[in-house]
Amino acid sequence: MKTAITEMFGIEHPIIQGGMHFVGFAEMAAAVSNAGGLGIITALTQRTPADLANEIAKCRDMTDKPFGVNITFLPSLTPPDYPAIVEAVIKGGVKVVETAGRNPAQVLPHLKDAGIKVIHKCTSVRHSLKAQDIGCDAVSVDGFECGGHPGEDDVPNMILLPRAADELDIPFVSSGGQADGRSLVASLAMGAQGMNMGTRFIATKEAPVHQNVKDAIVGASELDTRLVMRSLRNTERVLTNEAVERLIIKEKTLGDKLEFADIAEEVAGVYPRIMMEGDMDAGAWSCGMVAGLINDIPTCKELIDRIMKEADEIINQRLAQFSRGTVPA
């Protein structure tokens, strides 16, 4: 399948593995890229820019296909060394960068001068238009269903994707709620040129996370995520567990008096314990409502091949029946 996204990034299938904290290691990115999608290394999971450079080199040893790096710009009193991160990406020969969080304008000139394509993750049409205006090559449009940070507008993809198609001139992919061939065909129908999957890729054999994490996703339904940190305007969709329910009680009790320090135990520095050690009640971790559509743990190749087969069948068989005037099963 050829789309503007496959052509832009030089990939076989219009499927991107989004950047995920303590998931986006070389093993994950290489497995997705080798399966024909676009794998993504998460820069901020690496402790230093030198570690990131090593991870990029490791990924290059594991695949000869295109892969990218996610750089998330976070508000912080002690921000990461973004110039050194960008330098590691450029020196590593990476040709695609997924940016997220705050406006990436500060690094765009350096990335563009190096011939790197930039896709920025946005949770609204207005932010997507801003990304287009500052020179991003593509946008990942993140609907309310997504795991992680859905923004504060609460607009789901059935509305957000067509709105993006109405307004944007650059190509975009869907993100949030994407899991299978149905997701891909629906995204294409609403104007997207591909899809970005996060939670679905965690539940794969190659994902470098503890088996408990994968089992938790498979065992969850679409009703098992929670929105936390709304009062801090840092809303995050997470999978429920003991720590999350404790966090929610704190939010209800403290109301608008809640400060980050009140919930630091549940959200700060918990990812290594969850993703690496499998302590599923250690704290809050990002997970999308799409968990309700995830029922197995395939390899990345099995997953992507299945998605593309399903998409082909939907487009050329089921939907084609409508135009022929027959009633599909």
Mean pLDDT (the chain, rounded)? 97
Q: Name the token pair of 260.
A: 């980050």
Integer Cα distance of 150 and 237 in angstroms: 7
Residues 25 and 36 in one domain: yes
Residue where a domain stops, chosen among 183, 208, 233: 208
Average pLDDT over residues 256-274: 96
pLDDT value of residue 249: 98
Would you say residue 278 has pLDDT above 90? yes
Same domain for 216 and 202, yes or no, is no
Residue 297 domain-assigned? Answer: no
Position 94 confidence tier, pLDDT thresholds 50, 70, 90: very high
pLDDT at 190 over 90: yes
The answer to whether residues 193 and 254 belong to one domain is no
Residues 191 and 223 in one domain: no
Query: What is the per-residue pLDDT for 76?
Result: 79
Kindly state the average pLDDT of the residues 288-308.
98
Which residue is it, tokens 């109405």? 166
- Number of neighbours of residue 58 by Cβ within 10 angstroms: 15
Identify whether residues 181 and 217 lie together within a single domain.
Answer: no
Is the same domain home to 35 and 151? yes
Is 108 domain-assigned? yes
Greatest alpha-carbon span in the chain: 62
pLDDT band, residue 152 (cuts 50/70/90): very high
Distance between CA 270 and CA 127 in Å, rounded?
29
What would the mean pLDDT of 180-189 be, rounded to a whole number?
Answer: 98
Cα distance between residue 206 and residue 298, in whole Å: 9
Contact 157, 268 (CB under 8 A): no
Under the banding of pLDDT at 50, 70 and 90, the label for residue 246 is very high
Please identify, among 257, 274, 289, the residue that sits at the C-terminal boundary of a domain: 289
Number of domains in the chain: 2
Residue 199 CA to residue 180 CA, distance in Å, equals 12
- What pLDDT sits at residue 329? 64
| Domain annotation covers residue 307 | no
Has residue 221 been placed in a domain?
yes
Regarding beta strands 236-239 and 225-228, do their DSSP bridges make them parallel or antiparallel, or are they unpaired?
Answer: antiparallel
Same domain, 219 and 198: no
> Which residue type, as a one-letter code, is found at position 204?
T
Provide mean pLDDT across the span 29-38.
98
Residue 325 in any domain: the answer is no
Q: Which of 165, 180, 208 delimits the end of a domain?
A: 208
Answer whether residue 98 is part of any domain: yes
What pLDDT was estimated at residue 328? 66
CA separation for the pair 208, 203 (Å, rounded) = 10
- Do both 273 and 168 map to the same domain? no
Which residues on adjacent β-strands are paired with residue 239? 225
Averaged pLDDT for residues 305-319: 96
Q: Are residues 112 and 179 in the same domain?
A: yes
What does the pLDDT average to over 77-98? 96
Cα–Cα nearest to 126, from 163, 154, 75, 101: 163
Is 113 part of any domain?
A: yes
Mean local confidence (pLDDT), 304-320: 96
Residue 136 burial by Cβ neighbours in a 10 Å radius (0-12, 13-18, 19+): buried
> Dihedral of CA 202/206/208/212: which sign?
positive
pLDDT in tens, 56-85: 999 999 999 999 999 999 887 788 999 999
Cα–Cα distance measured from residue 326 to residue 329, given in angstroms and rounded to the nearest whole number:
10
Phi, psi angle pair for 195, to nearest 5°: -140, 155
Same domain as 42, residue 134: yes
What pLDDT is recorded for position 78?
86
The one-letter amino acid code at 309 reads K
- Provide the domain limits for residue 269: 211-289
Q: Tell me: the pLDDT tens digits for 199-214? A: 999 999 999 999 999 9
Instruction: Give the type of residue at 273.
Output: R
Token pair for 143: 């609907």
Tell me the sheet residues that pair with 328.
none
The 3-state DSSP class for residue 107 equals: coil
- For residue 325, what pLDDT is reported? 78
State whether 198 and 279 are in the same domain. Answer: no
In a domain, 294, yes or no: no
Does residue 78 share a domain with residue 59?
yes
Looking up residue 184, the CATH number of its domain turns out to be: 3.20.20.70
